[in-house]
Structure 1
């Protein structure tokens, strides 16, 4: 059994055929798609975060709005770029959104992805000190955020406060109990997956990864996940971790599906991203009987407990709900995912 959710990149543009022509369109349709996905029986609604781009950039208002409109579905990110984040302010935002949702936030965080601008985090007031890389800074911000979520007091109270304080040192409020166990680290390498396990974060692995062996993406990610689980066990954490993989999967059920995605998708691709040799995962698009065999061969999906389906959000809520329903109805039961 697997949890199955969607992952939206939140694009908008005024181009021909786009159903998301403005930021307002994307935000409102993201809420509507989460509601529709919950009604269809999906387990999660996740969103990418990109700054300086015509995509979703400020996740917490959106997550809180979805939390207020839904009852059951998990609500998350994949991922928040921690190079841009004030961990203290983020704890407050995350706590509020989690309480609004009734404890359903699943926050994917990471050092981030390639940017639209040069060193965009500097415009947000952050820069790595001497001897630290931007990736180190992102991990440091992530560690501070993760530690603050424990809810321990650390700030000396004012002896003459405006409002009465509880005894002892003060923590950030509102505190969301249990949120710390629902933090995921988005990892592109085996080493950072092991690091996340040692820290006690869940693992997100995407449709791309550092090409560390020349093997297919699914093979490399399966090894990455096994290393993560081994490191988790060695660290002695009390709970079981969660692991998600992201995939582009389109069952071809009608002529519209075939028009959009019916061409041969080919295999994985190799490229360079942030000076790193990376492998980019293929899209799976076929009639269900062929799709079953292709997905059975994906070792990483087999290793993960959560599958995030990347959706073409610019095609609108109705079409994306159709894609999600097609997978939940025609694909997941046959493969034993539901």
Structure 2
């Protein structure tokens, strides 16, 4: 069995003729797609976070709204850029969204991806400390976030408070029990996957990775997953971790599928991003029988317990529900995922 969710980047385009022209339309459709996905039996609704872009940027209002409209589906991010975050305020937002959903939040965080603007995190009031780079700053914010997420009191109470305080040091409220075990780190390298395991976070591995060996993407990603699990075991954590990978996978069922995605499956691509050589994983698009055979060869999907399907959100709720249903009906059972 494998958990399957969708991952939406939440694009919109204000140009005439665009099917999604406003942020409001994208937010409402995101909620409706999560509702439809739950009805189809999908396990998760995940959303990408990009600042200064015509995409989803503030995840917690959206996740809370989805949590209020659904009852079973996991809700999460893939990923929140910790360079931009006040970790204590984020604990309050995450706690509220998790409580509204009844403990279904699966929160992916990370160092972040290339930005729309130069040093956008500076506009949010953050800068690396002396001797840090931006990746160090993101990990520092993440460590503060994790440290206080368990709900232990740390703040000295005012002796003359506006409202009565419980005894002892105070924690941030609202507190969401169990959320600490549902934090994921989006890792692009073997080293950061090991660090995530040491910190007790689950692993999110996307379709972009540092090219560390020159091997095909799925082989490098599978090795990263195994390194994560070995580091988790060495760290001695009491619970089992989760690992997700994301893929673009389309079963070509009808003429519309073939029109949109029938150009054939992609191959891995190499590019330079943020001063490192990156490898971008291929997508999959084929008739169901062929698709099943191709996916059987993907070692990283086999290693992961959770698969996130990237969806073309601008094609609308109805078509994306069809894309999801096609995978659940024609692909997942043949691969033993259902």
Query: What's the TM-score, normalizing by structure 2?
Result: 0.99
Q: Deviations over 1:58-102 (max 9, x none)?
A: 000000000000000000000000000000000000000000000
Task: For 2:311 and 2:44, locate their aligned partners in 1 and report how far apart those are by CA, in whole Å.
Answer: 13
Task: For 1:83 and 1:118, locate their aligned partners in 2 and report how far apart those are by CA, in whole Å.
Answer: 13
Q: Say how many residue pairs are matched.
A: 338
Q: Decide whether the 8 Å contact of 1:14 with 1:21 is kept in 2.
A: yes
Structure 1 counterpart of 2:68 = 68
Secondary structure at the aligned position of 1:279 is classed as: strand
Task: For 1:314 and 1:115, locate their aligned partners in 2 and report how far apart those are by CA, in whole Å.
Answer: 21
Q: Decide whether the 8 Å contact of 1:202 with 1:243 is kept in 2.
A: yes
Task: For 2:273 and 2:94, locate their aligned partners in 1 and report how far apart those are by CA, in whole Å.
Answer: 30
Structure 1 counterpart of 2:174 = 174
2:293 maps to 1:293: yes
Structure 2 counterpart of 1:4 = 4
Task: For 1:243 and 1:252, locate their aligned partners in 2 and report how far apart those are by CA, in whole Å.
Answer: 27
Structure 2 counterpart of 1:230 = 230
Task: For 1:168 and 1:88, locate their aligned partners in 2 and report how far apart those are by CA, in whole Å.
Answer: 19
Which range is displaced more, 257-266 or 58-67?
257-266
Secondary structure at the aligned position of 1:334 is classed as: helix
Task: For 1:288 and 1:19, locate their aligned partners in 2 and report how far apart those are by CA, in whole Å.
Answer: 28
Equivalence map 1:233-312=2 (5 Å): 233-312=233-312
Q: CA deviation at 1:18?
A: 3.1
Q: CA deviation at 1:48?
A: 0.2
Task: For 1:119 and 1:10, locate their aligned partners in 2 and report how far apart those are by CA, in whole Å.
Answer: 22
Task: For 2:247 and 2:17, locate their aligned partners in 1 and report how far apart those are by CA, in whole Å.
Answer: 24
Q: Deviations over 1:26-71 (max 9, x none)?
A: 1000000000000000000000000000000000000000000000
Q: CA deviation at 1:129?
A: 1.3
Q: Decide whether the 8 Å contact of 2:268 with 2:282 is kept in 1.
A: yes
Structure 2 counterpart of 1:37 = 37
Query: What's the TM-score, normalizing by structure 1?
Result: 0.99
Q: CA deviation at 1:283?
A: 1.0
Equivalence map 1:109-120=2 (5 Å): 109-120=109-120
Q: Structure 1 regions of 5+ residues with no counterpart?
A: none
Q: Deviations over 1:137-158 (max 9, x none)?
A: 0011011101110101000000
